A and B are shown apart, each in its own frame.
Chain A
Amino acid sequence: MPDSQPAIHLNHISRHYTMGEAVIRAVDDVSLDLPTGEFLALLGSSGSGKSTLLNLIAGLDRPTSGAVIAHGQDLSQVSSLELARYRRQTVGMVFQSFNLLPRMTLEENVELPLRLAEVERDNRAARVHEALDRVGLGKRIAHRPSELSGGEQQRAAIARALVNRPKILLADEPTGNLDSTTGESILTLLKEIQKNPGMTIVMVTHERPLAERFADRLAVMGDGKLLSNGAAR
């Protein structure tokens, strides 16, 4: 259930790119508050700036102006080392194309964030198994991504995003490469994960019906601006 404490506070953020002489306003003066524990769906057509906004929240990119404050930490002010720590400890990311490392088994893929976070070796196996069990892949730990279906790969990617017990889960078109049934099952999984105390989810999607069914709130973007922001139902 949503908490009154804001997990993410976007304060007039913009992200502009220059291409030759032209300035592209990928995100243009967006302000948004996201309470802790809420599931937000970011909707918009292709090129509307929703993925750029997600990358700013993920700490993968920095805004040209404005502030991204996640759990009290202003991401526009921290060093790149602190930003990396934020990505390790506070957020988990899921991508449209899964982005599992093909040469590693599921176990190794899911263990990767634990290695980066310098979690003790003795604790890792248990946490990896716990994460994979949670997404229903407990028996597939020795498989490589290529041996799994798209839905299973996305589940593995979710397990990897959750293994470091983040406070924010960011999903960039998680159902984009999946059929509708599999997509639904993935969103059901995300909805279940949201039940974790304090877990905030931001999902970028262009599938409005699914977003309306699973998200608490919808934010619609167009041309880098936030067009609407309101409860899903």
Chain B
Amino acid sequence: MKPRDLSDLALRNLREAILRNSLTTLGIAVGVASLVAMLSLGVGLQQLASKRLSQSGLFDSVFVTPRMNLRGMGRQAVPAPTDKPPRLLDEDARQEISRLPNVVEVYPQVRFFTEVRFDGKPFATMVAGMPASSKASGSFDGMQGSFFSSDGAYETILQSEFAKELNLQTSSLIGKELVLRYAERQSLTPTAGDSGATSSTSSESLPGGFSVVPKEMRLQIVGVVDTEPASGFGGYGNGRLLIPLQVAMTLRAAQINDLRDIVRGTSSTQTFASLTVRAKGPAYVETLEASIKNMGFGAFSLLDASKSLATFFRVLDMLLGIFSSLALFVATLGIVNTLVMAILERRREIGVLKALGASDRDVKQLFFFEAGVMGLFGGVFGAFLGWLIGRALTFGTNVYLHRRDLPSVDITSVPWWLVLGAIVFAVFVSLVAGLYPASRAARLNPVEALRYE
């Protein structure tokens, strides 16, 4: 029989027992829906986690420290025999690292205590320099105002808790100016001070030391952000007044590690407590980390954590898939049952078809096709139903989050491959379920079938 005639007959047969076939199809749809909903939850959670994590830059970054710094906390500094001697993490090192292949940017941690004057009142806080790339990290999504207009702009973004200290109406702060007072580190070999800065130290210090000069500068408030973008890995926490990194670096503000430099006698050159190296992608992190270690620095990344996260989600998907497949398995039994019943009912019809010249293959294909159509409809409807359940899960979660003043998230995701895969899987499972009934129908003896009342 030609495919079109086969489909005509199969669809006609399905229509004849519309209630029973619809219920069977609904059974498949429920099975597929549970599969799609569960997997969409797995995929959605994975996407949510990896989006947040990749935006945070943690998984494409290598954190570089002077090696001695890592060997603190009472551990013995025993360098591996192949290691190069520890090096200073200074501007030269930064330039060298930035020339490594697949490096997007290398930026230091610039963080210092400061006093802010706003409306004539003093406020103590911590300043953190933000690289331009942090705009894309997701931390500034949903902020009030805007990000820095340029990397060298004398602008600031306030963390909302700090902003509330300045004014409870945080939105009214945007556009206003504040005065940042900080301690500038000046080398003891006298150099020309910045214009407008007021110096109050002498140069009578030990060679190799530096003096600290109070300075101040005016910054325009351009934004207020809820989260603490500078927090997290690598000790960037507690930055509540954010300024462009370029600006932060030119301030040469005295930092926490400066005292260590004095103790080590390395204060003649300014060093960095740590550098963050951003690779083009997580794939390059491992080799980059090795290269940096080979240069004589301490380097570490969260790549291993990322790998175990991926494994976790794979296992989660598998478990969700197995549980939801049970529903689909029950649905396949429904198909087998429906088709076996159809054979009994249509026994005489099968006999007539054979008497009219239908081959065993024709009969088999007819039943196969009917199973496939039920699988297709069940798959399509089930995928839609699964998507709907996913949306409902997301909606319910967001209602819950909203009540707790937390930002909305999308916990489910139905990518095209999941829809396509679910439909193909439903058809495949239905065809497998149709195997036995179809071959049983094909094997019917036409003489006996015609005699059947």
Query: Residues of A with Cβ closer than 8 Å to B?
Result: 55, 58, 60-61, 80-81, 84-85, 87-89, 93, 95, 99, 101, 103-104, 112-113, 115-118, 121, 160, 164
In the complex, which of the residues A87, A95, A99, A104 contacts B357, with contact meaning CB atoms closer than 8 Å?
A87
Specify the chain B residue showing the minimal Cβ separation from A95. Answer: B450
CB<8 Å pairs between A and B, sample of 16 = A58-B355, A61-B447, A80-B359, A81-B359, A81-B361, A87-B354, A88-B357, A89-B357, A103-B16, A115-B1, A115-B5, A116-B1, A116-B356, A116-B357, A116-B362, A118-B5
| Complex-state Cα separation, A117 to B358, whole angstroms | 8
A112 to B359 CA separation, bound complex (whole angstroms): 13
A20 CB, nearest partner CB in chain B, Å: 17
B residues in contact (CB < 8 Å) with A: 1-2, 4-5, 8-9, 12, 16, 348-349, 351-362, 445-447, 450
Specify which of A60, A85, A103 is in contact with B355 (CB 8 Å cutoff).
Answer: A60
Residues of B within 8 A of A160 (CB): 356
Q: Find the A residue at minimum CB distance from B453.
A: A97
Which one of B357, B360, B445 lies within 8 Å of A117 (CB-CB)? B357
In the assembled complex, the Cα of A121 lies from the Cα of B16 at a distance in Å of 23
Closest B residue by C-beta to A86: B357
A84-B359, A115-B5, A118-B2 known; A55+B447 contact, CB < 8 A: yes
| Assembly CA distance A85 to B362 (angstroms) | 12
Which residue of chain A has the shortest Cβ distance to B351 in the bound complex?
A: A99
List of B residues within 8 angstroms of A164 by Cβ: 357
A168 to chain B, nearest CB (A): 13
Q: Tell me if B's interface is mostly helix, strand, loop or mixed.
A: helix
| A134–B351 CA distance with the chains assembled, in angstroms | 26
Contact: B12 with A99, CB < 8 Å?
Answer: no
Closest A residue by C-beta to B359: A84
Least Cβ–Cβ distance between A35 and chain B, in angstroms: 25
A160 to B348, CA, bound (A): 17
Q: Pick the 8 closest A-B CB pairs, nearest first.
A: A88-B357, A84-B359, A115-B5, A87-B357, A116-B357, A60-B446, A113-B356, A99-B352
Q: Chain A contact residues: over half helix, strand or loop, or mixed? A: helix
Contact between chains at A93 and B359 (CB < 8 Å):
no
Closest residue of chain A to B4 (Cβ to Cβ) is A121
Q: Once bound together, how far apart are the Cα atoms of A103 and B13, in whole Å?
A: 9
Q: Which chain A residues border B353 with CB–CB below 8 Å?
A: 112, 116
Contact between chains at B447 and A84 (CB < 8 Å): no
Residues of A with C-beta under 8 A to B362: 84, 116
**Cα(A160)–Cα(B355), bound, Å:** 11
Cα distance A91–B10 when bound, in Å? 25
Contact A112–B16 (Cβ < 8 Å): no
B1–A99 CB distance below 8 A = no
B356 closest partner in A (C-beta): A113
Contact A99 B16 (CB under 8 A): no
Nearest CB in chain B to that of A51: its residue: B447
Excluding A84-B362, A88-B356, A112-B353, 18 further A-B contacts by CB distance (< 8 Å) are A60-B355, A60-B447, A80-B360, A81-B360, A81-B361, A84-B354, A84-B360, A87-B354, A87-B356, A88-B357, A93-B356, A95-B450, A99-B348, A99-B351, A99-B355, A99-B450, A112-B356, A160-B356
> Given contacts A60-B447, A61-B447, A99-B348, are A118 and B358 in contact (CB under 8 A)?
no
Inside 8 A of B351's CB, which chain A residues have their CB?
Answer: 99
Q: Are A103's CB and B12's CB within 8 A?
A: yes
Closest-CB distance, B438 to chain A (whole angstroms): 16
- Specify which of B1, B348, B450 lies most central, judged by the most chain A CB atoms within 10 Å of its CB: B450
* Known contacts A60-B447, A115-B5; A84 and B358 CB within 8 A of each other: yes
CB distance from A163 to the nearest CB of B (A): 10
On whether the beta carbons of A60 and B357 are closer than 8 Å, the reply is no
Q: Which residues of B contact A58 (CB under 8 A)?
A: 355
A81 — which chain B residues lie within 8 A by C-beta? 359-361
Q: Complex: how many Å from CA A81 to CA B354?
A: 11
Docked CA distance A66–B54 (Å): 80
A104 nearest in chain B by CB position? B12
Q: For A61, A88, A101, which residue has the most chain B Cβ atoms within 10 angstroms? A: A101
- Given the complex of chains A and B, what is the CA–CA distance between A14 and B12 in angstroms? 40
Which residues of chain B are near A117, meaning CB under 8 Å?
357
B447 touches A101 (CB 8 A): no
CA distance A116 to B350 in the complex (A): 13
Contact B359 A101 (CB under 8 A): no
Q: Chain A nearest CB: distance from B237 CB in Å?
A: 75
Q: How far is the CA of A87 from the CA of B353 in the complex (A)?
A: 10
Most buried by B among A55, A61, A112, A164: A112
Rounded to whole Å, the gap between the CB of B350 and the closest CB of chain A is 11
